[in-house]
Structure 1
């Protein structure tokens, strides 16, 4: 697995609701993805219940920190359904069937897709939304902003394949 793949997989894990498995993986995440150390170091010293409560507080849909990429553009309109179909079609083009409990535009799912395929198109297509989320998380003062900082820094510039 390439270092980019490891990073994207680690970022996906950091952006899911923390549980016992997440806590058990923290030492591995810390070593495998040094770009995420600020967040993983914070998570390592924070009790799981506090981590989980903070996750819900930050990513509750009322806080405008949605991890569902199509919500940033489409909101909860009919148009969003077409956007979700597009995500599924991209997954299917790589022989992957989306069967997660979450919707296919859930950022951790997109990051995992990127880790497995090396295809960053879904991320770069939503760069503006990810940058907006990154800024809002920073303004909110959450350690999750560090994860979005790293994700945005790792994404190639659309159409160039190079990083900013």
Structure 2
């Protein structure tokens, strides 16, 4: 008998893949390509249970309603200029320390084991990339990566909530696909809030990348219309 991973929303594997790919795309830069896919994303979201569909629907409504220039400026101000709204998961656990470099290697190895390679210069821990890998590459390994960085995900969600960001709803949806935080996880989040990521400025070559250019980089499920 197959044992399904526990998630708060009770999603099936197919629903998980759909939710993660939609969330991945919605965390990408709101360019013309993404905005043109909103009707397709709405159809995908309509197939999901309310705990995931409702927050994703709020983001879609915002992307439909706001002027494109405003969306672009808000995205950059949120994810590029606020350290606690960083979309790179290993930053929360390791900051810019040498340990972060090894953590990035583990992400890359997980992708290679699934037969997937990142584009040159892409950082493998970008949340949009991890979600697309989980959706289209290896559901179990993608979920493992998300759970290993659960505290960072929660700090990102809380930071987006505090700033009133519309992208907070994407993190609400992603959180609903994962098990609830345990006492140990809550303690890790509290430490991050109090202390922030570790500090030790080092280079991350060969992983240098422009955050505004990051996005899903694996071959998508054509039914959902992800990016190639």
Q: TM-score, normalised by structure 2?
A: 0.66
The yes-or-no answer on 1:154 pairing with 2:177 is: yes
CA contact (8 A) 2:30 2:72 kept: yes
What is the rounded CA distance, in whole Å, between the counterparts of 1:27 and 1:156 in structure 2?
30
1:47 aligned to 2:67?
Answer: yes
Task: Give unpaired runs (5+ residues) of structure 2.
Answer: 1-12, 47-52, 182-228
**Bigger fraction of residues in helix:** 1
Matched, 1:131 2:143: no
Superposed displacement of residue 157, structure 1: 5.9
RCO comparison, higher one (Cα < 8 Å, 6+): 2
Deviation sequence 1:90-139 (CA, Å, 0-9, x none): 11111111226530000000000000121211111111110111011000
The TM-score with structure 1 as length reference comes to 0.90
**In structure 2, how many angstroms separate the alpha carbons of the residues matched to 1:58 and 1:46?**
16
CA distance in 1: counterparts of 2:149 and 2:24, whole angstroms: 16
Task: Find the structure with the greater CA-based Rg.
Answer: 2
Among 56, 62, 65, the residue aligned to 2:85: 65
| Partner residue of 1:111 out of 131, 136, 145 | 131
Question: Would the aligned equivalents of 1:30 and 1:41 in 2 still touch at CA under 8 Å?
Answer: no
Q: Structure 1: which 5+ runs fail to align? A: 159-164
Once residues 120 and 130 of structure 2 are traced to their aligned partners in structure 1, the CA distance between those partners, rounded to angstroms, is: 11
Corresponding position of 1:121:
144
| Residue 161 of structure 1: aligned partner | none
Alpha-carbon separation, structure 2, partners of 1:66 and 1:139: 14
Counterparts of 1:90-101 in structure 2, within 5 Å, are 90-99=110-119, 101=121
Distance 1:121 1:61 in 2: 28
Partner of 2:37: 25
CA distance in 1, matches of 2:149, 2:161: 18
Report how far residue 31 of structure 1 moved. Answer: 2.2
Tell me if the contact between 1:124 and 1:157 (Cα under 8 Å) persists in the aligned partners: no
Q: Secondary structure at the match of 1:133?
A: helix
Q: 2:131 and 2:102 mapped to 1: Cα distance? A: 20
